[in-house]
Structure 1
Amino acid sequence: MSIVADEKSFLGQPRGLPVLFLTEMWEKFSFFGMRTLLVYYMTTTLLIEQGRASLIYGLYTAVIYLTPIAGGVLADRWLGRRRSVVYGAAIMILGHFMMASESLFYPALAVIAIGNGLFLPNLPGQVAGLYKPDDPRRGSAYNIYYMGVNLGAFMAPLACGAVGEIYGWHWGFALAGVGMAAGLAIYLAGGRYLPPDPPRKARSEGGQGRSEGLARSSLWLFGGVILAVVVFRIAYEQVGNTLALWIGSDVDRGLGGWTIPMTWFQSLNPLLVFLLTPILVTAWDRAARKGRGGSSLTRMATGAALVAGAFFGLAAIAALSGGNAVHWLWLAVFFLLLTSGELFILPVGLGLFGRLAPARMTATMIAAWFLAAFAGNLLAGVVGSTWSWMTPAAYFALMGVTACIAGLGLLLLARPFRKLEG
């Protein structure tokens, strides 16, 4: 069952899309606000050494993408998507406010992860229900939705990061909780514009045709995409981990006699997502109307190549600096390349899994996509623990090689996956 709004109100999209967009924006404000502070909080307040702090960071950001597996199954079989979003948001609000207490640090991380498991697969799972199956706007809907993700991620370091650095990390964590509460309020207020949950019978018996389409012989293709994205995320997820440490120690952050707060650089990536997405969506929609859209896997491989180029460039700059501080403008160039690559791979992959999922398994399939984020974040944390053993140039070059391997894997899958996507 789907809702198709005749009135166009947001970049030519149904009215339900901005509701989901804004809800996701505030959820990501809370998540990235807390994530921006996490490594600094552990190393400066809790006095956890860098290697262990990176492991904890990697484990937490990995578990955030593991709990949606259980949340997707619960939603598809019992709770439904809408109740799962509400319950998950409420639990996350509690967890963010628990972060204000040092003694509740680990329990708070666990509570946030549990709430996220209910929330994360079920909000994007409602996007497809806003469109008819043959609506040409479906292809770019997830890229527009992804703008909400990154608008929240852009605001979070500026607000939570500044509050945390100036007034104390605990106040930054509390502000993240306020953001999650705002997202829940928007979702409840805009519920009438969202697609209803499939009836219980449809959740248990519907979608058989699509299930047959996902033949067992094709499942290895989805597994191959997940594996490639796991490798990609080892490099990509260094942005909030080892790259953040490098920004704090080896980057000249001066601007006209003022020092840019180190947490603010975490806003560059989502800001560029917000600026570049409309350009890419327009170009891709125009190409699709002319029959020259290209396959999703080819786009994703292009994205991995761009991210590899970003890390190789940063490695070269770090090597040529001779131990001197690197000007922050080089970091801005790095983020421009990284973000361009991200837009070719992450929202495209999310949309691919969302479009091809059977109606009765939408949340579960999207949760399977997030399984790649779990494994990738976990491995990124393990790899990040070696940061202090290597020079920045060598480490960034290693991340470039990692992204190249991911791109090659996606390129090899492009031809067989084209038949399934068609």
Structure 2
Amino acid sequence: MSQSAPITPEDEVVDLCRDLLRIDTSNPGDGTGPGEAEAAAYVVGKLREVGLEPDVYESDPGRQTVVVRIAGADPTRPGLCVHGHLDVVPADAADWQVDPFAGVERDGCLWGRGAVDMKDMVAMILACARDLARTGTVPPRDLLFVFFADEEAGGVKGSHFMIEHHRAVFDGIGEAISEVGGYSVTVEDREGTEKRAYLLQTAEKGIAWLRLNAHGRAGHGSVPNPDNAIVHLAGAIERIAAHKWPREYIASVRELLDGLSGMTGVGWSDEDLDELLSHLGGAAGFVRGTLSDTANVTMLQAGYKQNVIPQHAYANVDCRFLPDHEDHLMATIRDLAGDQVEVEVLHRDIALDSPFGGDLVDAMKAALLAEDPDSTILPYCLSGGTDNKALSLLGIVGYGFAPLRLPKDLDFAPMFHGIDERVPLESLRFGARVLARLLRAC
């Protein structure tokens, strides 16, 4: 009787991702939603299936984080945390071509909320952890696999809960990898030759989620009122929206632009980036978001009846700041808001900036080049944020590395928090191979 071939991470990553997509872990950020318990139970079951014994930590009912450690050959080396988050942002099925929680396979892709952010990477992590356990492989150093809750609401019930209440989980860990890096973009040089670059995330902007609270005098809608809270708020919003934030090119951004310029033959300057960034396709939006601090109004609330002028009006603003810019951003927002609008901080988190060098970066590059030898790896700064922020408070240096070789015509980056989120099956298999290489070598 012939023996069946051993199961590899790429053999099961698609099925794992499909199963995860079919579990609704929507996180509206207001304490409602189904939570991560069902997905956490699925992860626990898959880890136990291969002999691992994970721990589960619950911050609130249903808000669960799963952790398992695989001991490495050299316990004196700082370990590596490989982490993902189980929650996703909500999705309105009416906007989608498919049911966002059905895990539909279509046109060579898996469709569903979280296919990009970030159940694709969670499936890769799970597949690789299972492979190490199933084969009895001892990695070079300790590997800590963590499946966090609550990343989409800033990690208060997930990564921050873990470092505040279960810090010992991360003892001996020195570095981390997670989402939003390692994916490819296809660019053309001036002669029309296509080249592929992988964007390895080395930095990320800080977060300041703010609420503008405008106060005024309530009154009848038929009576002139110079102290209208809605008008005060509208003025603050207009000033914030019109503000031109000064540009600053941090090291990772400058290195990305220089590398892209070398690949395409297109130069760039402070005044002219449009032609160069056009070669990045949908990823250009992420890069534009890292050229300066930003502030975007995302929510509005005011009034309760047509003929009543309310005494209060509110707006939420999503601010992202470059490293060392938080104080300047907050002072600028308060100045723009004006005397009649109070600025309240709902959530804040730090900016990160890690070196594009060292053993881990070299290992990530090598793992990618082993699967795609003609490609280029460039650093970049993420305009959003990840759970690496929380881990950095423990001195853990984090990177974004969710490796995906993507087809040229897939507008990938705009699908983060977008509609019709999907990931190619072959990209998942590629990512599983790359991540498995990395974890066996680093």
Length-normalised TM-score, structure 2 = 0.25
Q: Which has the higher helix share?
A: 1
| Structure with the largest fraction of strand | 2
Q: Which structure has the bigger radius of gyration?
A: 2
